[in-house]
């Protein structure tokens, strides 16, 4: 939805912020070094193998408030590749991310007696070590500092000690200001610390601001805190030609600035505790595996969710929605899911239907029609509940006492329906009430998923508000995002006006600006000040629970605001972007970052949310967006219509790009399974597969789907070619498999890219399963399979592998062993002209019950220019099998032979007319003719 972040509101924010000029010192003018840190005065081992220490402040000061005098240090190697370092007030409990929201081990109770167990000698000279399987924790006592080192190679991953020459100081721990830093090698490449729109690409850029605080400002704002908070970064280093990756998570939900200076990184946090988790790696995939094993594996997605989605704010009535669906069908453009923004609601109230524009009988008839062919329907739901005594959702909310409070009364804010209260999703009663409201609405309209928006939480007003008497609010005329409540600014508590000002919105906006007042109270006395960035996450957890209880189906949730662990419950889109070439490019970096964050189902609004794209831009955007993991066209109420059929040229590009996506659905669904099992991103930076090739460390204009499918889109106006980087190896065009690029040491190649063409290349040593495509995933899924096998071009010896996961895609769990799934490993070898392709099947019954077959096998990069002969299936000659056809074609080198690749001769062999059951092991083999 078009939130409170359009251009006119951005100007309003800027004007309002001028009134806060006295709100405190700028973070940039803050003292570089505060105090002398802490000293470690005692330490002991815990019975479970951890380490507990007692820290004492060295010299108190009052910069940003008084120091907390005594801290408890807890260190534990939780797994062989994960180390936790937890620092908190030794005297009293402080706010932490709730352990029931993000399950993890609890640290020892406070005031644990020192001296009952074996003490570790404390020395002010030498560092002491606490070693695990893969990581070593070392510390110095006075001033206290710690380092984390990888055992296998001795690399220091984190070092908090400060030297006089460092631009950062020692550990600082106050009630509302925590600071800690680490040294970094100057050649380390860092990724993460989001959500933000990074104009310099996926690599963190020294001296750019990285502020983490969930905020409703649109994605068009660069280098600003956006909808999500992910205080984690991946560090990739190349040491003597070897690549090493690790990750660092600071599990803290309070607002924070992170200053990356190139050789150091400093956290400045306005509350909570230091709760660090270090993930040893040492590959990028290994890091994400370790990270998601801790925060929660990505949610399994239903098969249809990987199809194409169409949405718009401004489908004024049901007939428009019906027309959109029919127009996609008429244009022969694939479409799986049709969405409604708030147009379907009664007065923009949650869980309602507009009786005039979306009458229930007609909507039910429409849903029955689209459900019968496999299409799905999703609607939006904002968290703000309209204050309306005749509104059942509100009545039940008040009766169940589910709303966030301010001074003992439900907090009043304004969003689209006018005055609202915000549900408190940290309250167990709220979770139950929310699930019941989902159930009630599903009985009203059998939706297939829920889109939760505005959940940063967004508020059109600031401060303490009341509903005005004697005037309508909103008035019904003019922009709906203008505050019409009677409000007064709140600065009376230290939560509303903290001593340190994070760089909120890139403008140091007050932390309660256009959101819930930070002194508002959640369940069990929790302050909004602490829990703010968890709001969207906690709503996603409640929504997931509610959907799961409906029919036992796999939930689909799209959320705007995210936090650490959100990927376990929901998909994400990148919010309000613009229809510009710059935004097209930025979308790649944001998408790739969310894969690292454990939210692999991600995409941007295709063609831009507002103010409307050019025809050329929309062509190029669908060519990119067809390969986002989450692929949806979405537009603003005030923008011209931009469905893909609105221009003949865009329709042609859509048929081409989405046509390929729908052929690749089995591959994408298998990547979805891998993400759920191992955390592996669906869309990945190239360095995930080519970690020793430093040229790709900052590459933000191309990406991989899985380990070896390279997408190289056009991102600039007027271009009909694209300069693409090809890491070392052989690459085959998926649209024309006779075309090949051989890159010996890695190189850039200029590729033809006319308006309707997107370049997609498949790497050597790979097998991907494909189907024939279609206009709806349900139908595409019934078509025969083909396998594409790639070897290094012209090599006499080669190996390739791939896999395929199939299941009953609406079961809650995505796993083997339930009788409703099949997993297949595919293998291929070539050796001295003998080609062999085979499968190894686990639990084949499900695939056999669905009668899936492999109809064609295409092998690329074979040595020789003769024909395939002596073809056998399971050791039996195929001469006795009717309908089998074998063709071979010489492959063409696209590049200009600068590194000698053009001297390599290779052929493509296709064996068609097969009928190999996917659910049974098969072996296909042949011999290649000799070269001339």
In sequence order, the 6+-apart residues with CB closer than 8 A to the CB of 186 are 262, 263
The verdict on whether 453 is a catalytic residue reads yes
Taking alpha carbons only, the member of 695, 692, 702, 681 closest to residue 589 is 702
3-class SS of residue 411: coil
The pair of three-digit structure tokens given for residue 240, joined into one six-digit string: 């003597």
863 is known as an active-site residue: no
Contact 742, 730 (CB under 8 A): yes
216 labelled catalytic: no
- Greatest Cα-to-Cα distance within the chain, rounded to the nearest angstrom: 93
Which one of the listed residues 257, 576, 633, 643 is annotated catalytic? 576
d(CA 441, CA 434): 11
Hey, how many other C-beta atoms are within 10 angstroms of the C-beta on 774? Answer: 19
Which contiguous run of DSSP H or E holds residue 536? Answer: helix 535-551
Phi, psi of 284, deg, nearest 5: -55, -45
Distances (CA, A) of 691 to 81, 82, 285, 476: 20, 21, 10, 56
DSSP 255-307: -EEEEE-SSEEEEEESSS-EEEEEE--SSHHHHHHHHHHHH-PPPP--GGGGS
Contact 252, 223 (CB under 8 A): no
Contacts of 298 (CB under 8 A, 6+ apart): 292, 567, 568, 598, 599, 600, 601, 675, 676, 679
Which pair of structure tokens corresponds to residue 274? 């230091």
Q: What are the CA-CA distances from residue 41 to residues 70, 123, 360, 426 (Å)?
A: 10, 9, 69, 37
User: Cis before residue 457, ω within 30 degrees of 0?
Assistant: yes
C-alpha distances (whole Å) from 246 to each of 161, 188, 413, 590, 715 are 20, 11, 42, 20, 31
Cis peptide before 195 (omega within 30 of 0): yes
Distance CA 190, CA 641 (A): 39
The active-site residue, picked from 67, 179, 216, 456, is 456
Would you give the distance in Å from CA 437 to the centre of its chain? Answer: 28
Q: Which of 67, 96, 437, 453 is catalytic?
A: 453
CB 592 within 8 A of CB 485: no
Q: Two tokens at 537?
A: 């996450």
Q: Which residues contact 231 (CB under 8 A, 6 or more apart)?
A: 193, 212, 249, 250, 251, 252, 256, 258, 267, 564
Q: Where are the beta strands (DSSP E) in 80-197?
A: 82-89, 128-131, 135-141, 144-150, 156-159, 172-173, 178-183, 189-194
By annotation, the residues acting in catalysis are 453, 456, 576
């Amino acid at each position: 939805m078009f939130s409170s972040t359009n251009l006119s509101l951005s100007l309003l924010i800027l004007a309002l912020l001028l009134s806060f000029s006295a709100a405190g010192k700028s973070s940039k003018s803050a003292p570089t070094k505060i105090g002398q840190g802490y000293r470690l005065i005692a330490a002991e081992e815990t019975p479970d193998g951890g380490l507990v220490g007692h820290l004492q402040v060295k010299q108190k000061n009052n910069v940003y408030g008084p120091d907390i005098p005594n801290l408890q240090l807890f260190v534990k190697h939780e797994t062989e590749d994960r180390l936790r370092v937890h620092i908190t007030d030794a005297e009293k409990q402080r706010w932490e991310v709730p352990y029931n929201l993000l399950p993890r081990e609890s640290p020892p109770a406070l005031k644990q007696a020192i001296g009952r167990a074996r003490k570790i000698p404390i020395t002010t000279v030498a560092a002491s070590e606490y070693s695990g399987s893969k990581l070593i924790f070392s510390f110095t006592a006075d001033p206290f500092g710690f380092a984390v080192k990888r055992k296998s190679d001795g690399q220091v991953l984190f070092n908090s000690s400060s030297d006089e020459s460092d631009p950062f100081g020692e550990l600082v721990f106050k009630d509302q200001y925590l600071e800690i830093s680490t040294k970094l090698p100057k050649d380390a490449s860092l990724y993460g610390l989001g959500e933000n729109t990074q104009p310099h690409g996926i690599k963190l850029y020294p001296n750019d601001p990285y502020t983490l605080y969930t905020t409703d400002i649109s994605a068009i704002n660069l280098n600003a805190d956006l909808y999500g908070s992910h205080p984690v970064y991946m560090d990739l280093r190349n040491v003597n030609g070897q690549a090493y990756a690790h990750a660092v998570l600071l599990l803290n939900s309070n607002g924070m600035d992170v200053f990356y200076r190139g050789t150091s990184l400093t956290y400045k946090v306005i509350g909570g505790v230091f709760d660090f988790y270090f993930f040893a790696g040492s590959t990028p995939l290994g890091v994400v595996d370790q990270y998601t094993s801790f925060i929660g594996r990505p949610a399994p997605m239903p098969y249809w969710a990987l199809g194409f989605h169409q949405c718009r704010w401004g489908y004024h009535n049901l007939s428009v929605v019906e027309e959109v669906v029919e127009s996609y069908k008429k244009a022969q453009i694939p479409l799986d899911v049709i969405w409604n923004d708030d147009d379907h609601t009664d007065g923009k109230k949650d869980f309602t239907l507009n009786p005039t524009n979306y009458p229930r009988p007609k909507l039910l008839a429409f849903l029955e029609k689209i459900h019968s062919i496999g299409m799905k329907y999703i609607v939006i739901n904002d968290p703000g509940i309209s204050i309306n005594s005749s509104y059942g959702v509100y009545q039940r909310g008040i009766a169940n006492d589910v709303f966030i409070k301010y001074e003992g009364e439900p907090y009043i804010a304004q969003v689209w329906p006018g005055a609202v209260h915000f549900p408190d999703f940290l309250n167990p009663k709220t979770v139950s009430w929310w699930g019941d409201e989902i159930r009630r609405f599903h009985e009203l309209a059998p939706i297939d998923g829920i889109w939760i928006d505005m959940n940063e939480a967004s508020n059109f007003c600031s401060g303490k508000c009341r509903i005005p008497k004697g005037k309508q609010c909103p008035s019904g005329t003019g922009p709906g995002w203008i505050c019409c409540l009677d409000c007064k600014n709140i600065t009376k508590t230290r939560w509303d006006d903290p001593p340190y000002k994070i760089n909120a919105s890139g403008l140091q906006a007050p932390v309660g600006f256009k959101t819930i007042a930070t002194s508002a109270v959640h369940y069990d006395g929790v302050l909004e000040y602490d829990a703010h960035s968890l709001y969207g996450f906690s709503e996603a957890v409640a929504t997931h629970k509610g959907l799961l209880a409906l029919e036992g189906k796999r939930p689909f949730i799209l959320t705007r605001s995210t936090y650490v662990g959100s990927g376990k419950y929901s998909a994400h889109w990148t919010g309000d972007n613009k229809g510009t070439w710059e935004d097209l490019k930025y979308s790649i970096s944001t998408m790739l970052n969310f894969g690292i964050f454990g939210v692999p189902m991600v995409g941007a609004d295709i063609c831009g949310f507002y103010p409307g794209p050019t025809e050329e831009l929309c062509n190029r955007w669908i060519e990119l967006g067809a390969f986002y993991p989450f692929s949806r066209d979405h537009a603003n109420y005030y923008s011209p219509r931009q469905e893909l059929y609105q221009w003949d040229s865009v329709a042609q590009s859509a048929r081409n790009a989405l046509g390929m996506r729908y052929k690749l659905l089995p591959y994408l669904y298998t990547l979805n399974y891998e993400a759920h099992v191992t955390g592996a991103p669906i869309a990945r930076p190239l360095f995930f597969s080519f970690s020793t090739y430093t040229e790709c460390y900052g590459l933000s204009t191309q990406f991989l789907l899985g380990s070896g499918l390279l997408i190289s889109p056009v991102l600039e106006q007027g271009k009909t070619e694209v300069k693409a980087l090809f890491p070392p190896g052989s690459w085959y065009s998926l649209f024309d498999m006779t075309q090949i690029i051989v890159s010996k040491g890695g190189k850039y190649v200029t590729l033809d890219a006319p308006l309707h063409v997107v370049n997609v290349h498949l790497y050597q040593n790979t097998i991907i399963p494909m189907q024939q495509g279609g206009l709806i995933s349900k139908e595409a899924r019934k078509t025969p399979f083909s396998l594409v096998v790639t070897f290094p071009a012209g090599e006499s010896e080669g190996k390739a592998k791939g896999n395929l996961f199939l299941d009953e895609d609406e079961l809650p769990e995505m796993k083997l062993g339930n009788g409703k799934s099949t997993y297949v490993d595919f293998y291929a070898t070539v050796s001295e002209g003998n080609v062999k392709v085979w499968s190894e099947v686990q639990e084949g019954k499900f695939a056999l019950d669905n009668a899936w077959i492999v109809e064609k096998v295409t092998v690329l990069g074979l040595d020789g220019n003769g024909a395939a002969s002596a073809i056998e299936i399971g050791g039996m000659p195929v001469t006795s099998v009717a309908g089998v056809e074998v063709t071979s074609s010489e492959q063409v080198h696209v590049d200009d032979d600068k590194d000698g690749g053009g001297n390599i001769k290779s052929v493509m062999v296709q064996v068609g007319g097969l009928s190999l059951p996917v659910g049974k092991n098969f072996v296909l083999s042949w011999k290649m003719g000799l070269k001339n």
